[in-house]
Amino acid sequence: MDKSRRPIKRSIFIFTLAFITLLCLFLSILTYTTFTNTLYKSYNRRMTDILKFVESHIDKDNLFECVKTGEESEEYTELVTFMDSIMEDFDIHFLYIVTPIVNDEQTVIMNVISADTAEGRATDPDGYYLDLILDDVYEEADVIKYNNAYQKNEISFFKNFSDWGYDYTALLPLKNSNGERYAALCVDIEVEDLQNVIKTYTGMNVVLIVFLGVLFITFFILWMNKNITEPIRQLEKSVVSFAIRSHDQTDPEKLKYEAPVITTHNEVESLSDAVTQLSADMRQYVRSILDEKGKVEIMKTEVSRMDMLAYQDALTHVKNKAWYDEVEKRVNEDIENGTARFGIIMADLNNLKKINDNYGHEHGNDYIFGACHLICVTFDHSPVFRIGGDEFVILLERSDYDNRERLLSELKIIFKSTAHDESKDPWERYSVATGMAEYNQGTDKCMNDVFKRADELMYANKVASKMARK
């Protein structure tokens, strides 16, 4: 029997080692690929939002004249200030407007606007002015990349090298009212930052996966050597004896198993105990059937409770993004059926990062919970969803939709009051930026169209609030 067991043990070991190795490799590649794709998609969405937001503040015909004449207008100066504020508020590398020039005579980039932070303009200004030709900054291949993206009618994403570094760029072509291209709005994020995040995340996961794989193999081998041989032989002897005695036995009381002395404290010992318990379980079988109906009802209740928890935000107890997606399907069906009548309020909490940084995440959670409570009290007939760390959506229907202007005004008054109440702790001075949009049957094809407008209005409100505080 020893000869027959050794090959089995070797086969188990080799199979386990090969399986764990392949699994580690597969999980590592999957982790890297999934996280990389997810990260780039996330940055694409973020950069798209920034470009669209900045584009909405550009007087394109005025900027066209500035590029054409090389003279700065009042609107041009205001746009520079606005783009500088975006650099201050968002974690990006560069925000700028340029014009690629590719012809038989030259292949260069012409500067239109180069945004900078207040600190950057004060300590290290780049000196780039309107219509400055950047002939020594970009390689010809990168200028061609810019020009190819510039010729498209959509936002393009690409990597490029310049004197400023290796960047991941999003480019949006700008056209005047006559449809003439004259410049490209661009936002850059350092590729090194993206790669560092990917390397750190992937490295940690690979180390964890390999460590768990090695740990599993080690413990499995130790367990196999201690528990596979003698315990199996004893168990085999007892089970064969039990099978012979129980053959054609119709009396459940005589189905008794003489268990061997096994002290492995693992599945082998549990199997012996399970056979012993089998005869007693057969006697209880009929009684168990009567109990099953009650157990099924309990299981249904538990499933319902789990469903509720799956769609509830753990901190604020309002509905989460998963439930928002389900409600969106229902609203889109109403839109298709022509029965939709609703509005959306997008609310984004201000100062949350400051609360977290200065007073800790516990008070940051207090800030989120308290602000959410004020929203829920004001819109007590409307579902409130927490779709992000500091982002909430209120779906206005029925009476709250009819009273939407009054309710939004009340909400703003409440938040303004708490924000300026010096008697409260900082994490109890709630402040929020809001944007409200109503469904328009003539223009909106889905609920997300209304959401986007509300989101844009919220961002405008947030920027206006920041400008007011300055």
* Shared domain check, 464 and 372: yes
pLDDT at 287 over 50: no
Is 267 a member of any domain? Answer: yes
Q: Are 260 and 234 in contact (CB under 8 A)?
A: yes
**Could you tell me which of 420, 466, 24 has the C-alpha nearest to residue 458?**
466
Is residue 35 within 8 Å of 201, Cβ to Cβ? Answer: yes
In-domain check, residue 301: no
Query: What is the average pLDDT score of the chain?
Result: 83
Q: What is the pLDDT of residue 23?
A: 84
> What's residue 2's pLDDT?
47
Do residues 360 and 245 share a domain? no
234 versus 352: the higher-pLDDT residue is 352
| 3 pLDDT higher than 50 | no
Q: Which pair of tokens denotes residue 88?
A: 């201050």
pLDDT for 276 beyond 70 = no
3/444: higher pLDDT: 444
Q: What is the CATH number of the domain that holds 154?
A: 3.30.450.20
Q: Are both 252 and 201 inside the same structural domain?
A: no
| Residue 405: band (very low, low, confident or very high) from pLDDT cuts 50, 70, 90 | very high
- Give me the phi and psi of 82, to 5 degrees please: -65, -45
Answer yes or no: do 403 and 273 share one domain. no
Check whether residue 127 and residue 234 sit in a common domain.
no
Q: Is the pLDDT of residue 49 over 90?
A: yes
Range of the domain at 261: 230-283
In a domain, 307, yes or no: no
332/452 same-domain check: yes
Concatenating the DSSP letter of every residue in 338-397 gives T----EEEEEEESSHHHHHHHH-HHHHHHHHHHHHHHHHHHTTTS-EEE-SSSEEEEEE-
pLDDT at 89: 85
Residue 233: per-residue pLDDT? 72
Interval 190-215 mean pLDDT: 80
DSSP string, 393-405: EEEE-HHHHHTHH
**Cβ within 8 Å of residue 48, ≥6 positions away:** 155, 170
Asked if residue 323 and residue 248 are part of one domain, the reply reads no
pLDDT interval class at 167 (50, 70, 90): confident
Q: What is the CATH number of the domain that holds 339?
A: 3.30.70.270
Q: Is residue 292 part of a domain?
A: no
Domain-embedded: residue 194: yes
Q: What is the DSSP string of 187-206?
A: EEEEHHHHHHHHHHHHHHHH
pLDDT of residue 5: 55
Same domain, 73 and 220: yes
Q: List 189's β-bridge partners, or say none.
A: 168
- Please indicate, yes or no, whether residues 347 and 446 belong to a single structural domain of this protein: yes
Phi, psi angles (nearest 5°) of residue 125: -65, 140
For residue 297, is pLDDT > 70?
no
Question: So what's the pLDDT on residue 293?
Answer: 47
User: Tell me, what's the pLDDT at 6?
Assistant: 58
Same domain, 348 and 401: yes
Widest pairwise Cα distance in the chain = 105
Give yes or no for residue 301 having a pLDDT over 70: no
Given pLDDT bands bounded at 50, 70 and 90, which one contains residue 162?
low
- Say if residue 323 is in the same domain as residue 197: no
Number of structural domains in the chain? 3
Considering the domain architecture, whether residues 15 and 154 belong to the same structural domain is answered as yes
Does residue 302 form part of some domain? no
* Nearest-angstrom CA–CA distance, 52 and 167: 20
Burial of 263 (0-12, 13-18, 19+ CB in 10 A): exposed
* Rounded alpha-carbon distances, angstroms, from residue 189 to 73, 89, 134, 254, 357: 29, 14, 20, 77, 24
Residue 312 lies in a domain: no
Residue 96 lies in a domain: yes
